[in-house]
């Protein structure tokens, strides 16, 4: 039976840490489940960054030695490892994992809808391909993300709605400004019950349920916020979820 998987990263990884980090290595490990001894096939979707060349380069540097890398970049001319734009769904179904970058979620959603990338990603997700992402790439799968896409502060942003509730990245970052604004938005009813994830932490959802909280720096975790209530997500309060601490460096063969 296929298990649908999303790895939602609050912040960190190659985009923030400048190199392949522990969470990037975890993505490779999760993708290897379907590889049968070969390198995993991982596709970068950097639409939230406007398909920035710097992000593409950083991704290839971080993953090139441990995975076969591809990119889906409708805003750039194709290169040898680009997925064709004619049949995106079929191409994504040949991947072991997809990674969606941080950036501007609202802009990415508009482009995805125009090209049918949103529906192609849903097919990949339903087929059991690992969907991973950081910041914008973490909350786009939820009903609402707590976003700064308008560049005038934080606000709820309607997203794809694959997972009920909301998601907030960078919960312990940005001088606590996002965390303060999120608490106000949840308590006022602007945001639904929300999973908030710190920088250097992530949650793994299997069939839309959190099954692991992963961190790779001290005092970084994930939380569930509802009206007048906030708790750390642990095995006791999120069904079968379990916390795990990743080492700062992990050798990969």
Q: Which is catalytic among the residues 170, 215, 221, 241?
A: 170
User: 178-204 b/e with 16+ CB inside 10 Å = b?
Assistant: bbebbbebbeeeebbebbbbbbbbbbb
107 in catalytic set? no
Residues 6+ apart with CB under 8 A from 64: none
Written as six digits, the tokens of 221 are: 């975790």
57 in catalytic set? no
User: 60-80 b/e with 16+ CB inside 10 Å = b?
Assistant: bebbeebbbbbbbbbeeeeee
DSSP assignment of 139-158 = HTTEEEEEE-TTSSS-EEEE
Q: Which is catalytic among the residues 21, 91, 135, 215?
A: 135
Catalytic residues: 135, 170
């Amino acid at each position: 039976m296929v298990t649908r998987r999303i790895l939602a990263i609050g912040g960190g990884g190659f985009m923030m840490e400048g190199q392949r980090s522990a969470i990037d290595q975890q993505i490779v490990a999760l993708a290897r489940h379907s590889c049968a001894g070969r390198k995993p096939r991982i596709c970068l979707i950097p639409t939230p960054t406007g398909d920035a060349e710097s992000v593409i380069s950083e991704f290839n540097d971080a993953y090139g030695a441990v995975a076969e890398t591809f990119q889906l970049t409708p805003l750039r001319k194709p290169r040898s490892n680009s997925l064709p734009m004619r049949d995106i769904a079929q191409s994504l179904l040949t991947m072991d994992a997809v990674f969606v970058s941080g950036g501007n979620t609202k802009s990415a959603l508009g482009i995805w809808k125009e090209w049918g990338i949103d529906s192609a990603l849903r097919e990949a997700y339903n087929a059991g391909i690992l969907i991973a992402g950081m910041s914008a790439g973490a909350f786009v799968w939820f009903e609402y993300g707590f976003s700064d896409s308008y560049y005038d502060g934080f606000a709820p942003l309607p997203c794809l709605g694959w997972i009920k509730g909301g998601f907030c990245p960078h919960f312990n970052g940005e001088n606590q400004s996002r965390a303060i604004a999120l608490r106000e938005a949840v308590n006022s009813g602007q945001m639904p019950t929300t999973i908030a994830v710190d920088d250097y932490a992530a949650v793994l959802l299997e069939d839309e349920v959190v099954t692991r909280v992963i961190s790779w720096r001290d005092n970084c975790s994930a939380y569930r916020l509802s009206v007048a209530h906030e708790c750390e997500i642990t095995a006791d309060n999120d069904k079968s979820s379990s916390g795990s601490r990743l080492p700062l460096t992990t050798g990969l063969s």
